[in-house]
Amino acid sequence: MKKRKLAPKILWILSILTLIFLWAPMILVIVYSFSNNKYGSSWEGFTLKWYVKLATNDQVRDALMRSLIIAGVTVVVSTLIGTVTAYGLYKLNFKGKNFLRTSILLPIVFPSVVTGSALLVFFTRLIHLPLGYPSIIIAHIVFCSPLAVFIILGRMQRFDWAWEEAALDLGATPLRTFIRVTGPQLLPAIMASAMLIFPWSFDDFVITYFVAGVGSTTLPIYVFSQLRFGATPVINTIGTLFVTVTMLGMLAVYFVQKMGKSSSSA
């Protein structure tokens, strides 16, 4: 009997060690963001001055705005394309459908350096697109909309399509059916895909780095350029804010889901 209780304990220790491995570096970043050390790499007493510096740093503000705009546009366009495509892939049967599905997978499985370099050569050597917002946003849509397709398609497969048929049978036009019946039912899937794509686009460094050109510094590119000169304490504050925002975002999603569940069961 004693042996049986040993197994969970060993597993617990292993699990805690794994969590420490995953968290220790981030916790250090958070701790050092409040440290007086000017390299941001050891503890020399509490200060908030790096946060003040962050708040007054114009470069960071510009980069943040740029990243937010890019991620915002990417989320809207990719989710729209994802919804329409998933609907088409689910409803229609045609020759070459499997080929199309595999092709849509390609931007997801290709390494970022491949997508980034191929798009860079394509933009600069073939269509002469100016590097900056246009090239970055197109690149983000290219790797984000396939993701939206498969997230939404996955939800569609566990979906009650009888409502849509009923609406059509009762004489609603396809457009009206989509706006009044199918769309609202798909809303959770659409929200889920938007919620995944936003951080995906916001946090992308590699592809953006390739196609950004000079002067279009997004937040990850700013962080990268700072790391090249050796770490600065400001990076610690950005990291801390990243973790905080992620946590708050996840808590918000969790509680919205919980509320949604309790209101639908009531």
Partner 1 sequence: MPVLDDMSASQAQAKKREKRKLTLDITAYLSPIIIIVVVFVFAPLAIILFFSFLKSGPYGQIIYTFTFENIAAILGGGYGKVFLKSVYLAIQTNFLCILLGYPIAYYIARFGGKRKVLWIFLIIVPSWSSYLIRLYALKTLVGTKGTINTLLINIGVISEPIQILYTNFAVTMALVFAWLPFMILPIYAALDGLDRSVLEAATDLGATPFRRFFRVTLPLTRGGLLAGSILVFIPTVGEWLVPHIFGGSKIMMAGSLVAHKFTAVGNIPQGSSLAIMLAATLVLILYLTIKWGGREALEKAL
List the interface residues with partner 1, window 16-75 (CB under 8 A).
Answer: 18-19, 21-26, 28-29, 32, 41-42
Rg over CA atoms, the chain: 23
Binding mask 182-221 for partner 1 (x = CB under 8 A): -----------------x---x-xx--xx---------x-
In contact, 235 and 226? CB cutoff 8 Å: yes
Nearer to partner 1, 139 or 167 (CB): 139
Q: What is the smallest separation between the CB atom of 26 and partner 1, expressed in angstroms?
A: 6
134 scored as a contact of partner 1 (CB under 8 A): no
Strand partners, 35: 46
Secondary structure letter of residue 110 according to DSSP: S
129 scored as a contact of partner 1 (CB under 8 A): no
What residues between 81 and 100 interact with partner 1 by CB under 8 A? 81, 84-85, 87-89, 91-92, 94, 98, 100
Query: Which listed residue (153, 156, 189, 234) binds partner 1 by CB under 8 A?
Result: 153
Query: Which listed residue (14, 55, 65, 191) binds partner 1 by CB under 8 A?
Result: 14
Secondary structure letter of residue 129 according to DSSP: P
Alpha-carbon span 199 to 119, nearest angstrom: 21
What are the distances in angstroms from CA 215 to CA 59, 131, 204?
11, 9, 17
What residues between 98 and 117 interact with partner 1 by CB under 8 A? 98, 100-114, 117
What residues between 244 and 263 interact with partner 1 by CB under 8 A? 246-247, 250, 254
* Torsion on CA atoms 156, 159, 163, 168, rounded to nearest 10: 30
Q: What is the smallest separation between the CB atom of 81 and partner 1, expressed in angstroms?
A: 5
Residue in 235, 233, 230 with CA at minimum distance from that of residue 219: 235
